[in-house]
A = this chain, B = another copy of it.
Amino acid sequence: MFKQLGVLGCGLMGGSFALALKRAGLVKKVVGYSKSPSTTERAKKLGVIDVAADSALQAVAGCDIVLMAVPVAASEAMFSAIRHLIEPGLLLMDVGSTKRDVVAAARRTLKERVDSFVPAHPVAGKELAGVGNADAALYSGCQVILTPLAQTPIELVQKATDVWSAIGAQVLRMTPENHDAAFAAVSHLPHLLAFAYVSAVTNQTAGRDFVGLAGPGFRDFTRIAASDPLVWRDVLLANRDEILRQSQRFRHALDAIEHVIRGGNAEALEDLVRKASDARAGWQMNAPKPASGR
């Protein structure tokens, strides 16, 4: 399907994409670049990439597909570094958890070449970052949100859809604005809360003893708090307005539950807890959706 894949940022996300495309027989050769040469070398030693490039531009030369897998705030500099080699027909994608800021950076930097960019957000990941944890199956069964620009050729958007589908993902299309509003609610806010919670618990005198007693509830609730600090610093800043809006909603809900707890109102408390419990029990990850997304 593709001649050559360029991976910009050979971490968990970029490395897993390379492995998945190789396993599916979708690409012949993978060239990789990371800011740190030792990461690029490691990716090569692990067989995640075939060629280690010395620069982003070199990694893109000769490619018909490029995946940019860097923290979102690094997108603009990366677009600048590679824009001279972005030509019609090339499929350029990212994996960022925010889309408005990345699209704006692409427009500013790539100008008329922005047509080649199909913004993508694969809803996948694990807390063990780095190329050493790259996994050909990471995207299998996950959702990938594309937020294509109006001017992008429909064939290129279809090509992007096909490649994610071919490695097992379910592809949806949304606007960058809808994307960022939705993910502020279902992903960014939970990360913010998990970081705040872990800070609060561990920054108390008995915190160390306390967490030593924690069980599977704590384990799962805080799993996302171990996420990559650079990635999440950028996401929390890039989507701050939506995230702070969602956090405000959360604070109101917390106020409401605490109010009935403080008042000892068992009936009202049961009602609030039951509604949340029912809502969560009825949720299913990757439930079937209309093919076109929202």
Chain A residues close to B by CB (< 8 Å): 73, 123-127, 142-143, 145, 172, 181-183, 185-187, 189-204, 206-207, 209-230, 232-233, 236-237, 240, 243-244, 246-247, 249-250, 252-254, 256-258, 261-262, 264, 266, 269-270, 272-277, 279-281, 283, 285, 287, 289, 294
Contact = CB atoms under 8 A, between A and B. Distances in A.
Given A125-B216, A145-B213, A193-B221, 6 more contacts: A125-B217, A185-B201, A200-B249, A202-B276, A214-B285, A223-B280
B237 A261 contact: yes
A215 to B, nearest CB: 4
A285 to B, nearest CB: 5
B254 A247 contact: yes
Nearest to A268: B233
Contacts of A257: 192, 195-196, 199, 236
Nearest to A217: B224
B273 A244 contact: no
A70 to B, nearest CB: 15
A10 to B, nearest CB: 21
Given A199-B272, A285-B215, A209 B294 contact: yes
Nearest to A219: B285
A226 B186 contact: no
16 contacts: A182-B213, A183-B213, A190-B218, A190-B221, A192-B261, A196-B276, A199-B253, A199-B272, A200-B249, A204-B249, A212-B287, A221-B224, A229-B273, A236-B273, A243-B261, A244-B258
B185 A216 contact: no
A219 to B, nearest CB: 5
Contacts of A193: 193, 197, 221, 254
Q: Per DSSP, are chain A's interface residues mostly helix, strand or loop, or mixed?
A: helix
Contacts of A145: 213
A277 B190 contact: no
Contacts of A185: 201, 204, 206-207, 210
Given A127-B281, A261-B236, A269-B237, A187 B214 contact: yes
Contacts of A126: 216
A228 to B, nearest CB: 7
Nearest to A214: B186
Contacts of A249: 200-201, 203-204
A275 B219 contact: no
B218 A221 contact: no
